[in-house]
Amino acid sequence: MVMKTLIFGKQFGSTADSLEAANGAVSRRNFLVGMGLVTGTVLIKPATALHGFAYNGGSWKESVCKLVDYICPQLTAGHIREAIYRADSYHAAPSADYHGSFSSRQIINAQVYPKVTHGGRYFEFSRLPYYDSHNPCRRTKDLNVLEIERILNDGEREYYGGVVSPCSERRQLASCGCERDAYDKTVTYYKEDPKAWEPLYVRNFTDGRRSYLGFAVKPRTNAYGQPLKQLLLSPDSV
C-alpha cells in the first residue's frame, strides 16, 4: 500500500527573539496546586508499555494539533491541522536507538516544513512533530505524548513563561550524581515519593535562555494493572 504524503508550505521562518523567562511572585508549585494540575498524568494502555509510546491514531493527531494551536500563529496552525488530519497514519516498530525508542510509534504520514512559532522557535512535522530553536529542526527534537501534555500544562506554561522546547536527546538517567539528585528533587517537588517511581529517561528542555531537566517516569507498582506514565520538569535550571 502506498501512503500519500501531504506537503504544506515550503517557506522557512526567520529568526525571532527568544521566549521571555518566567518571572514569579508565585511559585510554580503553588500555582499548580491552586489550579489542580499537579500531576498531569497520561493514561497508556498496557500493550503500549515499553519501548515507544503508541496510542489511538486520532488521539495522537489531536495531541499534535493541540501543541500547534499553542505555539503557532492562528493561520499557520489551521493549515498544519488540515495537513495532519488529512494524512494517513500507521504504527511503526520500536526504534533500536535509545532516543527513538521513546518516540511515538504512531506515525502520521504528513510533511510540514519548518514554521516559525511564537518566541522565535520552529515547528516541523515529518512523520513526527519536531519543536526546536534550529531551522530546520534537528531529528532528536521530536516530542511524544507525555512531553506534549507536560509542556502544555497551564502551570508549566505559567512558570516557564511559555511552552518550553526540547534541547537534547532522550537518554538514560544516571544511577548517581547531580542528575540523579535533580531527579529526586523534582519528583519530591511534585509531591511524590521518588522510590515509588521508575525513571524511563531524561532529556533537557529550554525556555529560550535556560535549560531544565525533564524526567519521564512510570510507577513501580499499579493496583489497576494499567501503567500511568508522565513527564516531570525540574523546578531549577541546570
* Residue 8: pLDDT over 90: no
Give the model's confidence band at 228: pLDDT under 50 very low, under 70 low, under 90 confident, else very high: confident
- Of 186, 135, 148, 134, the C-alpha closest to 71 is 148
Give the model's confidence band at 9: pLDDT under 50 very low, under 70 low, under 90 confident, else very high: very low
* Residue 143: pLDDT over 50: yes
For residue range 26-43, list pLDDT tens digits in order: 344 443 433 333 333 332
Contacts of 216 (CB under 8 A, 6+ apart): 102, 146, 147, 170, 199, 200, 201, 202, 229, 230, 231
pTM: 0.77
Q: Pairing relation of β-strands 211-219 and 197-206?
A: antiparallel
Q: How many residues does the chain have?
A: 238
At 33 the pLDDT is 38
For residue range 85-98, list pLDDT tens digits in order: 999 999 999 899 99
Cell numbers for 144: 511524544
Mean pLDDT for 113-132 is: 97
Between the CA of residue 33 and those of 123, 154, 203, 223, what are the distances in Å?
Answer: 31, 11, 25, 25
User: How many Å apart are CA 173 and CA 180, to the nearest integer?
Assistant: 7
